[in-house]
Structure 1
């Protein structure tokens, strides 16, 4: 029989995994909600940031500097992609834009993964050696606590940006009424560029969070994209709050199932939980 302290520790680990899922889901939701582009390369951004930071730390660069460099790399990459490939996508509208965005970002994901396979092949992680944390009678890993804290701070800053700043309010206006935003002088294209770069950085941060807790490799890119899609769809596709809630819950479900049943069945249960969420999703998550 599993003790209460063990179950509590597993729950904390599940929430830490859910924090990374929430970041990935938010990254997908931001871009799709603003420009109806489903970024299927988001997992590649996460892996690129993590591998870049890991390689730099292996070369003697301090971890904070390496982490910022990893985020900077995916930020610049996101900017280049937005101003080139996505410029072609945004010229279309409606279903044509959605389909073109899917094929464009899918091709981009394949290309980025192919490039990485040729230059990196092993597993990477970040040397975040933290002592276990005592929470009452429960002992949890320090990396899990830090992962939850980092994700919470980043998400809080993101929501503050969207709700309190001029650029954030302009972004929300485009979410709700693009034509109305244009009438009041807001340039949707510039805002989309900002948001795409922001989503790439958020995805990169998710990769760093995962790499701090476990090994990461090129093969994880597709897995991350799949998780991001599940979280975003369950959360309501256009709802950032829904993506955060879905990420936390699905991360918890996956971790508990992995502990009690096994990793293979846990994946099946994750998809099953996603279907249940879609059928009985609370209204707040779909708004």
Structure 2
């Protein structure tokens, strides 16, 4: 079973405009609402790939029933802990004229101690040997920064694999428990190393170091520049695919879903990287945080594969 954890879900409200001006009345051309949060986004993509998952996390307020109804409609299993606070709404402003994508994200509810205790009980009860656990995204106030480290430790004690997609102290702490797979982007990896930005060689060196520490797959996404995959077998680099970008939200989540899909199918490093690159590209071609389909990803696989090269140094 694939288990996705979303500690701070959000209703993603996407507003598309033909020109956005601060301090003025702006007219929305297109709008859509999508239930989201990074773990939920991974579950949505996996469902489109024909793979079931179980979504865990916290939900509260007037959006709780909306999320539960949507998850049921999508056929995604869930075991969310109800909380006193309200699930947040994130606004995504897409200016088609300027080609800009602006996120305005709410902080989310404050998680009470008893709510976190209930989640940990539920998590321990749910995770079993052979599962793949996805720990993804930020957390609400009231959740300790060591939470992903703890959840990784629990999962590995039970014989489950762990995939991590987080940043900052959440990422740093979780690495101490040695998750099996990590997917930082280049900015997040630079933050981890205490630098403003990284050269390609520095990304490769950092990825190699993480593999040497016991992390089997390190995928570093670089937006339009492509991505780099490090495993014990070596380093693979993928150039970015040139596609029509409609929304940048959820691209990383689609890449995480592609990694999980590749693990389930027994793919090797080159197939895994091609799948991740194609999924990321397919995701930015969709509106809002609508999940890309397997057919859309497969249509890009050949082009993605052709852009993969092995690092020789």
- TM-score relative to the length of structure 2: 0.28
Query: Which protein has the bigger strand share?
Result: 2
Query: Which protein has the bigger helix share?
Result: 1
Of structures 1 and 2, the one scoring higher in RCO (CA 8 A, sep 6+) is: 1
- TM-score relative to the length of structure 1: 0.30
